Amino acid sequence: MKKALFFDLDDTIYPTVSVVDDMYKELFHLLKPRVSEDVFQAIRTDILSTPFHTVADRYALKKDVKEEGLRISLDMTYGGSMETFNDYELTRGIKMDKFLITAGYVKLQQSKIRQLQIQDDFREIFIPDPYRSVLTKGDIFKQIMLKYEYAPSDVLVIGDNPESEILFARELGIETYLYDYEGKYSPALADYYGTSYEGFTDIAALQH
């Protein structure tokens, strides 16, 4: 029987593409005239799942561009309208300990949580910052399990990224639910798979 649900944020609770141009407009304003169109479009895609300092190295951005982009990124917040996936509402009725673990620059992640109005959905929220800390989501999973005395079998991890939270969970022997609203991945990459939370609520009910 599961005791806790560990949720990812980006593309698990809300769609990142719905706000990317508005959220990153200052950063994109810096980058667009300084890189080719192909590189800009690649960065625009990668920034949704990868921190800027890593993206900057990936595309060998000039030192001054990287430094200014990092300054913008670390201080970035978002105050625009944001909405969760419509079917996320289904998870709110599940009576189980829930934790939010989202990697990213702290100010921006906090502002997303605030604009989505989801902070009260979780017992605790963790934001490992990839610029200031070497902690991974897997490290946070272990910290939570130690604090609350959860065994791996007590937990279900819910996320969209097979190479991040899903991978860390599987390495720790935790069951996973791959939330793949765009249908990009194989169901074989996780213990459970769905393109919506309709199926997830059935799984959670069976596990509770």
Q: Which of 87-96, 98-107, 163-172 has the lowest mean pLDDT?
A: 87-96
| Whole-number Å distance between alpha carbons of 94 and 173 | 23
The Cβ of residue 197 has, within 10 Å, a number of other Cβ atoms equal to: 24
Q: Which two tokens stand for residue 182?
A: 């765009």
* Mean pLDDT of the 55-74 span: 97
| Bridge partner residues of 179 (DSSP) | 194
> pLDDT: is 206 or 151 the higher one?
151
What pLDDT is stored for residue 202 in this prediction? 76
* Mean pLDDT of the 5-16 span: 97
What are the angstrom distances between the C-alpha of 31 and each of 1, 51, 52, 79, 162?
Answer: 49, 15, 11, 22, 29
Split at pLDDT 50, 70, 90, the class of 21 is: very high
> Could you report the per-residue pLDDT of 162-207, keeping only the tens digit for each?
999 999 999 999 999 999 999 999 999 999 999 999 878 777 665 5
Q: Which of 95-99, 115-119, 145-149, 198-202 has the lowest mean pLDDT?
A: 198-202
Q: Which residues contact 155 (CB under 8 A, 6 or more apart)?
A: 2, 3, 4, 5, 6, 141, 145, 169, 174, 175
Q: Which residues contact 109 (CB under 8 A, 6 or more apart)?
A: 9, 102, 127
**pTM check: above 0.85:** yes
**Domains observed in the chain:** 4-14+81-207 (3.40.50.1000), 25-75 (no CATH)
What are the angstrom distances between the C-alpha of 47 and each of 11, 30, 40?
Answer: 13, 14, 10
